[in-house]
C-alpha cells in the first residue's frame, strides 16, 4: 500500500488486517517513512506491532497482486505509470484516474500527466459499474461525496424518474474527509461547534458526480454541489434535490422507495431505509444507507444517503473493488455493521 | 419570564442579567418550580444566586412592562389570554402567535385557541418588520430556522432577484434546538457523530418561512425545507437555493453581495460576509452572518446564513424586539460578538 | 440475550453478528418489546433485518448454551434465579453478581436477593481470573471503570510494587457509560463541552475495584475513586496513583514497564504502550492499552489505562468470558483493532 | 496587544471590545501581519470591521497605558525588555515572567534572558496576590492549569488543612489550551473522541503551581501534576487530592466548604459550589467554580475547580489584572456568567 500514514491508508490497514486473502507486503509513506504503524495508528498496534513504513521504491512492489495508492492529490499520476505494468492491479484512491482527461483538466486546472493510462481504469462504484470493474485492469476508487451522491441519485436517473438538470446536492462531511494534513480548518478548536459550507459552486467533486451520473442516466447530468463541514470525525450525508421527470412515476414516495429497493436488491452494502438515514449507523461500516421522498407540495424529489466517508467513501469501497479485481467474494474483509453509539 | 428552566429561558436570563433597563421580576417553571436558577443554570449562579423559580400565577405578573413566554409548544395559547390585558407587552417565543389562524391550523393540525389575539402580535424579525414591531402591542418571536432562512432570502425576494417558487432551504441545527426535554434523539450518545435529516417535507417551520417571505416578496412564496440535526450544541446554518428571476440582476455574485450589503446597511445584527459564514463565529451572539453566490454553471442563486439558534434564533431576537416595544435602543443588552473558539 | 435495546445489548448484538459459533436465539427488551433491532440499532440492520425484540419469557431460553443479561441495575437478581438452572451459562453484565453479599449490601444499600447464586459466578476479567472463569458455571462481567482500573493496577499490586492503601483512581468516561436511559446529564446539550466529576467519594464501583484488586494483591486494598464525565460517546481512561512499596523495585519507569510487559505477555487484549494511551485507539476494540510511570520527584507510581467502555468495559469482555465458558478460543468474534480516527 | 492572531489574543480582543475604559491602539501578529481581525476572528467582525494586524514595532507602543503580550513561548523575553520602560504596564500572558530565574531554568531548560525584569512582575492571580498586583509595575498572568489548581488548593494550604507534600493535581483541558498552532494532536480527527494524559511527571506548569502555592502556604509545596486532553474546545477541570494535616480541621466536608466560602467571600470571580462544578457553566466567563470534599474512608481531601481556560485561565484574568494595574474596578469588562448550554 502506498500512503499508509494518512486516514485513508490507516483505514485500509485496519480492513486488511482481518482480510483472509490479502497480506500487506509493504506500506509506504513519505514524510513518515521509518515510523512504525503502531506509532502513527495506535489502534492498529495489535495487528502491526512491528511494521515500519518505508519510502516508496517501486521495485519492491514488483509482482504484487494489487497495489493501493492512498496518496496526496496529484501524486498518483507520477507513481502509477511506474507501477502499472509490473503489478497485477492498481486501486487508486486519489482523484487522478476517476474521470476523462478533459474533465480532469477542467476541474483540476492542469493537464493530466498520464492520460494514456486512463482507459485502463474503471470507476469504482461496484453497485453501478460492477461489470466494468470485474474486467478492468485497474480501478479508480471514487471520492466520498461522489459515492454518496451518485448512489443516492442513480436509481432516479437510471429510471428517468427525475430531470437530469437542476439537481442540487447539499452534503455534509466529517472533518476526517479533509485528511490528516495540518491546516487551520482541520483544528479541533476551529471545527468543533462549527457548521459551514465551503467550495461553493466549484468543488472538484462536481465533475466526478456529473460524469458518473451521466453514464448512469445515459445523458448529460448537471448539478450544483454544496459541501459542508460538520463537527464529527467520520460521517457523510448527501441530501439531494431533483425535479420529477414529466414522464415516469416519480410522484409517490412509496413508488420511489420501491424503485430504490428494486435497484439495490441483493446489494450487500446499500440499505434502503424508510426513515431518514443517519451517519452514525454507518461508522466503521462499508454500508451506505439511503432513502427517498416525493414532496407533492413543491413537486420535488429528495434522496438522502449516509455513509462512513473513510469506509464506503474511501478505503472500504477500494477494498470492495480489489476483491472484484482479484476474483474474491466482494464482501471479503468488509462489514456492513456500524459501530454505534 | 415564563418558562425559565429550558434552554431558551436560560439564555434570556443570561442576557437580562446584563440588561441595564430590564430587571427580572419573576421567573416561572412548571416541573421545576421551587428549584433555584443556580441549580438549573449553574453558569448563571453569579447573577441569580438566590432566585427561585415559581409556579405560574398570572396575578404576580400584573402590571409588568413585558412578559417573555418561553413555554412548551401550545402552552402560550392557554396562558397569553390571561396575561395580555394586564401586562405591558408579551413577547412569545413559541409558535403560537407567529402566523395566521389558518396557517396555524394547517401546519399544526389543530385550530388556534386564541385567534382573537393574533392581530395584536407582530412577527419579530426587526430587520424586516421593524415598523410593525415598534407599534405592536405584542411580538411573536420567530423560530430559529425561519430567522435564518428568512433573513438569507429576504433581500433576494424583496428585490425580485429570484423566483418565488422552487426554493430549497437546506438547514442544519445544533441539538439545543430540540430543547431541554428528555428524548432519545437528544441524548449525547445518539447525536454525537451523527448527521441526519428529519421532518422531511412537512416541518412546521415551513409555513412560518413562507408566510414571512411572502410578506417580504409581496407574493406567495413556496419552498421546500429540510432540517438536519448536527452534533453541536448551538449553531444553525441555512443553505438556500433559488432560481434567478428572468428580470432583475441576480446573475452575478458581486451584484448580489452588493444587494445584501445595501439591504442590511446599518443593521447591527446582520453581517454580510464575503466568505461562507460559519456558526461558530456566532456563538453567544445576536448576529446573523450571511453571504450569497450566483452559480452560472447551473443558473442558481445560493444564500447562506449562520446564527446562534438560542440567541438570534430565539432569546436574543426576543430581547431585541422587547427593546423596540419598550422604546429602548434596539441593541441594549445584546452583543454582536461571538465567543470563539 | 436479555436487554437488547440498550447500548451494551446493542454492542453485544454487533459482536455476535460476526461470531462463528454463537447464534442469537432470542433478544428481549422490556419497554421496547415488539420493536425491530433494525429500528433501535440502525447500524445493525444488515445483520438483523427482521429480528424483533420480545418480552422476556424464561421458558424460551430453556436449554440455551449461554444467556447474556444486559439488564437495568438490580434486575438480574430477579431474573437469574429463574434461568440459572435451565441454561448452560449466564454471563451477567450488571453489578448484581460481581462481589460478595456483604460488599453488595454495603455499596448498594440493600441486601442481595439471590445471594445463594453468588458462588456460582466468577468475576469476568480473563487476564486476572482466567482459571476461575474457565471452570465457573456463570460469569459476572465487570463494570467499565473496574476493568480499566484493575488491569492498570494489577501488575503493581500482584508484584508488591506499590502500597495497598492510599491509591487514587481518577477516571473519565464517555457518556455512553451512562446507558441509553433518558436523563438530563445524558443530553447532548448538557454533556457537550462539559467536563465534570461525579459520584465523589462513594461511587459504587469502588467496592468492585477494591475486591478484585484485593484478590490480586492477596491483602486488603483501599482506594479513592473519582469518576468524571467527558464529552465523548465511547472511551474510558483511568489514571491511577499509588505509593511505591518500600520493598520491591518500583522506582524506575523502565522496570515497571518491564513488569507490565511480563505480566501481560501473551494477552491478546492488553497492550502495554510506551506512550500514554488514548481512548480513541480503542474504539470498537476489545483491547485495553496501558502504560506506567515512576515519578522520582514526588515518589509516586502512575498507571494509565484506556479502553472502549462498551467493548472491553462491557460487551466485549462479556463475550471473551463466554468464549471461555464455552470452550472456544478466547478471541473468537473479538477484534483488538480500534476504529480510528 | 501583541499576538492577536491566536486564541488568547482573540479572546482578549473580544473582552476589550466591550471594555469601557480600554481601547485597542494596536494589535500585532507575526505570520498574520496584514490580515484583518475579521478574517482571523470572524466572530469579532462587528467590533473590529476594519482593524488590520500589524507587525510588531515597539515604537508604535510608546506611551500606551498597558500592553498585553500573548506571544509564543519564549518570545516575551525578547520583546518585553524593549517595551518595559516606555509603556505604563505590561501584562504578559506567557510563561516567561511567572517564576523566579532558577525555577524558570529548571523547568524550561534554559537560562532566563531577561532575569533583571523579573522583580517587576507580580504573579497575576488577584484572589491570592491582589496586593502585589495593585502595586506592581507589570503582571505575569498565570497559565490555565496553575490558575485552576492554585485556586482549588489555596484555601487548604493557606489554612494548614492539608499536608504540603503528596498532593496530586489531575487535570483535564480542552484543546484550545494547545493554542492555534498547527500540530497533529490539535486536529479535530485526532482529538475528537479521545481522552489521554500527556506531559507525564514533568509538565512545566508544575513549577508554577508549586511556586504559587508555596507562597500561599508559607512553606515548600510538592505536587504531582497530570494533565489530560479531552474533546472540548474550552474548559479546564482540576481534580486535586491531598492528605489532611494532622492538626487542623480538614476532616469534614462541611467545614472545608465553610473554609472555602470564607476564603473567597466577596470574590466576584470565584464561586464555591456544593455540587461538583462542570466546565460548561464557565464558558466565556471569568468565573472559576470550585468545591471541596473530605473522604473519611481513605482520609483524603479533594478539591475540584472548573474554569474557561481562555478566560479565567488566560485572557480574562489578564484583563482582571490590567484593571487592577490601571486603578479600574476589577470586574470592568468581565462577566461571571457562562454561555451555556
Contacts of D163 (CB under 8 A, 6+ apart): D242, D243, D244, D245
Q: Which of D46, D24, D6 is nearest to B284 (CA)?
A: D46
Cβ-based contacts of C289 with chain A (< 8 Å): 42, 45
Whether residue C341 is preceded by a cis peptide bond, meaning omega within 30 degrees of 0, is yes
pLDDT recorded at residue A310:
98
Q: How many residues does chain A have?
A: 341
Do residue A192 and residue D192 have CB atoms under 8 angstroms apart?
yes
- The pLDDT of C275-287, averaged and rounded, is 98
Contact of B273 with chain D, judged by CB distance below 8 Å, is answered with: yes
Contact of B41 with chain D, judged by CB distance below 8 Å, is answered with: yes
Of A182, A192, A232, the CB nearest to D183: A182
Is the pLDDT at C280 greater than 90, yes or no? yes
Distance from CA of B338 to the nearest CA of D (A): 4
Strand partners, B260: none
Cβ-based contacts of A200 with chain B (< 8 Å): 276, 293, 295, 302
Contact of D166 with chain C, judged by CB distance below 8 Å, is answered with: yes
pLDDT recorded at residue C248:
66
Is the pLDDT at D59 greater than 90, yes or no? no
Determine contact, residues C86/C119, Cβ cutoff 8 Å: no
Do residue D187 and residue A180 have CB atoms under 8 angstroms apart?
yes
**Mean residue pLDDT across chain B:** 96
- The pLDDT of C112-133, averaged and rounded, is 97
Separation CA B308–CA B282 (nearest Å): 5
pLDDT band at D248 (very low <50, low <70, confident <90, very high): low
Is the pLDDT at C21 greater than 70, yes or no? yes
Cβ-based contacts of C233 with chain D (< 8 Å): 193
Residue range B142-160, pLDDT digits in tens: 999 999 999 999 999 999 9
Distance from CA of D25 to the nearest CA of A (A): 27
Read off the DSSP letter of residue B141.
P
Q: Is B331 exposed, middle or buried (0-12, 13-18, 19+ CB in 10 A)?
A: middle
pLDDT recorded at residue D74:
86
Determine contact, residues C266/C199, Cβ cutoff 8 Å: no
Which H or E element spans position C292? strand C288-295
- The pLDDT of A190-208, averaged and rounded, is 96
CA distance readout (Å), A199 to A168, A222, B254, B273: 14, 17, 17, 15
Determine contact, residues D120/D314, Cβ cutoff 8 Å: no
Cβ-based contacts of C190 with chain D (< 8 Å): 280, 341
Do residue B188 and residue C184 have CB atoms under 8 angstroms apart?
no
Determine contact, residues A30/A55, Cβ cutoff 8 Å: yes
pLDDT recorded at residue B249:
76
Is the pLDDT at A247 greater than 80, yes or no? no
Determine contact, residues C336/C268, Cβ cutoff 8 Å: yes
Is the pLDDT at A248 greater than 80, yes or no? no
Separation CA A228–CA A198 (nearest Å): 6
- Residue by residue, DSSP assigns B274-333 as SSPPBGGGGTT---EEEEEEEETTTTEEEEEEEE-TTIIIIIHHHHHHHHHHTT--TTTT
Do residue C165 and residue D298 have CB atoms under 8 angstroms apart?
yes
Buried b (16+ CB within 10 A) or exposed e, A71-86: beeebbbebbeebbee
Number of Cβ atoms within 10 Å of the Cβ of D62: 11
Contact of A189 with chain D, judged by CB distance below 8 Å, is answered with: yes
Do residue C235 and residue D195 have CB atoms under 8 angstroms apart?
yes
Q: For residue B215, give the C-alpha cell.
A: 410578506
Contact of A184 with chain D, judged by CB distance below 8 Å, is answered with: yes
Determine contact, residues C285/A43, Cβ cutoff 8 Å: yes
pLDDT recorded at residue B58:
84
pLDDT recorded at residue C74:
86
Is the pLDDT at D20 greater than 80, yes or no? yes
Q: For residue D287, give the C-alpha cell.
A: 468565573
Up-side HSE of residue D318: CA atoms within 13 Å toward CB?
34
pLDDT recorded at residue A34:
96
Determine contact, residues C10/C35, Cβ cutoff 8 Å: no
pLDDT recorded at residue D87:
96
Of D44, D233, D287, the CB nearest to B337: D44
pLDDT recorded at residue B73:
85
**Cα R_g (chain C), whole angstroms:** 19
Q: For residue A36, give the C-alpha cell.
A: 512504525
Separation CA B154–CA B260 (nearest Å): 9
Residue range D287-302, pLDDT digits in tens: 999 999 999 999 999 9
Is the pLDDT at C286 greater than 70, yes or no? yes
Reported in sequence order, the residue ranges of D48-161 that DSSP labels E, i.e. its strands, are: 66-69, 89-92, 121-123, 138-140
- The pLDDT of B183-195, averaged and rounded, is 98
Q: For residue B8, give the C-alpha cell.
A: 431558551
Residue range C50-61, pLDDT digits in tens: 999 999 988 889
pLDDT recorded at residue C45:
97
pLDDT recorded at residue A280:
98
First to last CA, chain B: 31
pLDDT recorded at residue A61:
93
Q: How many helices (H) and strands (E) does chain A have?
A: 11, 11
pLDDT band at B248 (very low <50, low <70, confident <90, very high): low
Is the pLDDT at A21 greater than 90, yes or no? yes
Contacts of D220 (CB under 8 A, 6+ apart): D164, D210, D214
Do residue B228 and residue A235 have CB atoms under 8 angstroms apart?
no
- The pLDDT of B86-96, averaged and rounded, is 96
Contact of B233 with chain A, judged by CB distance below 8 Å, is answered with: yes
Catalytic residues of D: 144
Residue range A134-165, pLDDT digits in tens: 999 999 999 999 999 999 999 999 999 999 99
pLDDT recorded at residue A267:
98
Q: Which of B172, B181, B326, B316 is nearest to B237 (CA)?
A: B172
Residue to mutate among B187, B190, B196, with most A CBs inside 10 A, is: B196
Query: 3-state class of C213 per DSSP?
Result: helix
Number of Cβ atoms within 10 Å of the Cβ of B183: 11
Residue range C64-79, pLDDT digits in tens: 999 999 998 889 999 9
Contacts of D221 (CB under 8 A, 6+ apart): D157, D164, D165, D167, D209, D210, D213, D214
pTM beyond cutoff 0.95: yes
Residue of C nearest to D169 (CA): C170
Percent of chain D with pLDDT over 90: 94
Determine contact, residues D10/D24, Cβ cutoff 8 Å: no
Percent of chain A with pLDDT over 90: 94
Q: How many helices (H) and strands (E) does chain D have?
A: 11, 11
Up-side HSE of residue B287: CA atoms within 13 Å toward CB?
29
- The pLDDT of D217-242, averaged and rounded, is 98
Number of Cβ atoms within 10 Å of the Cβ of A289: 29
Cα C2 from chain centroid (whole Å): 17
Of C223, C232, C298, the CB nearest to D224: C298
Residue range A212-244, pLDDT digits in tens: 999 999 999 999 999 999 999 999 999 999 999
Rounded to 5°, angle at Cα B278 from B272 and B280: 120
Contacts of B134 (CB under 8 A, 6+ apart): B324, B325
Separation CA B234–CA B175 (nearest Å): 7
Is the pLDDT at D226 greater than 90, yes or no? yes
pLDDT band at B247 (very low <50, low <70, confident <90, very high): confident
Do residue A193 and residue D233 have CB atoms under 8 angstroms apart?
yes
Contacts of B295 (CB under 8 A, 6+ apart): A200, A201, A224, B301, B302
Residue range B30-45, pLDDT digits in tens: 999 999 999 999 999 9
Residue range B168-180, pLDDT digits in tens: 999 999 999 999 9
pLDDT recorded at residue A72:
87
Contact of A162 with chain C, judged by CB distance below 8 Å, is answered with: no
Whether residue B341 is preceded by a cis peptide bond, meaning omega within 30 degrees of 0, is yes
Do residue D189 and residue A7 have CB atoms under 8 angstroms apart?
yes
Amino acid at each position: 500500500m502506498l500512503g499508509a500514514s494518512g486516514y485513508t491508508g490507516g483505514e485500509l490497514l485496519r480492513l486488511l488486517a482481518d482480510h483472509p486473502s490479502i497480506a500487506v507486503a509493504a506500506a509506504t509513506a513519505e514524510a513518515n517513512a521509518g515510523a512504525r504503524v503502531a506509532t502513527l495508528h495506535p489502534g492498529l498496534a495489535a495487528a502491526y506491532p512491528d511494521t515500519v513504513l518505508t519510502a516508496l521504491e517501486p521495485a519492491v512492489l514488483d509482482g504484487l497482486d494489487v497495489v493501493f495508492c492512498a496518496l496526496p492529490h496529484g501524486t498518483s499520476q507520477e507513481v502509477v505509470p511506474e507501477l502499472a505494468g509490473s503489478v497485477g492491479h492498481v486501486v487508486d484512491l486519489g482523484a487522478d484516474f476517476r474521470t476523462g482527461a478533459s474533465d480532469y483538466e477542467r476541474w483540476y486546472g492542469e493537464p493530466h500527466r498520464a492520460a494514456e493510462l486512463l482507459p485502463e481504469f474503471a470507476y469504482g462504484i461496484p453497485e453501478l459499474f460492477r461489470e466494468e470493474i470485474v474486467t478492468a485492469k485497474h480501478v479508480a476508487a471514487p471520492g466520498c461525496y461522489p459515492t454518496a451522491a451518485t448512489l443516492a441519485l442513480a436509481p432516479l436517473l437510471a429510471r428517468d424518474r427525475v430531470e437530469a438538470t437542476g439537481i442540487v446536492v447539499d452534503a455534509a462531511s466529517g472533518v476526517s474527509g479533509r485528511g490528516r494534513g495540518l491546516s487551520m480548518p482541520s483544528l479541533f478548536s476551529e471545527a468543533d461547534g462549527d457548521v459551514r459550507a465551503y467550495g461553493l459552486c466549484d468543488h472538484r467533486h462536481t465533475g466526478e458526480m456529473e460524469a458518473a451520473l451521466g453514464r448512469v442516466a445515459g445523458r448529460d447530468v448537471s448539478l450544483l454541489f454544496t459541501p459542508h463541514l460538520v463537527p464529527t470525525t467520520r460521517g457523510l450525508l448527501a441530501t439531494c434535490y431533483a425535479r420529477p421527470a414529466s414522464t415516469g412515476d416519480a410522484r409517490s414516495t412509496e413508488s420511489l422507495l420501491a424503485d430504490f429497493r428494486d435497484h439495490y436488491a441483493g446489494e450487500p452494502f446499500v440499505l434502503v431505509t424508510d426513515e431518514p438515514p443517519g451517519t452514525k449507523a454507518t461508522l466503521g461500516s462499508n454500508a451506505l444507507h439511503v432513502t427517498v421522498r416525493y414532496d407533492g407540495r413543491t413537486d420535488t424529489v429528495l434522496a438522502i444517503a449516509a455513509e462512513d466517508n473513510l469506509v464506503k467513501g474511501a478505503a472500504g469501497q477500494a477494498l470492495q473493488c480489489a476483491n472484484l479485481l482479484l476474483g474474491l467474494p466482494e464482501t471479503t474483509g468488509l462489514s456492513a455493521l456500524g459501530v454505534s453509539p
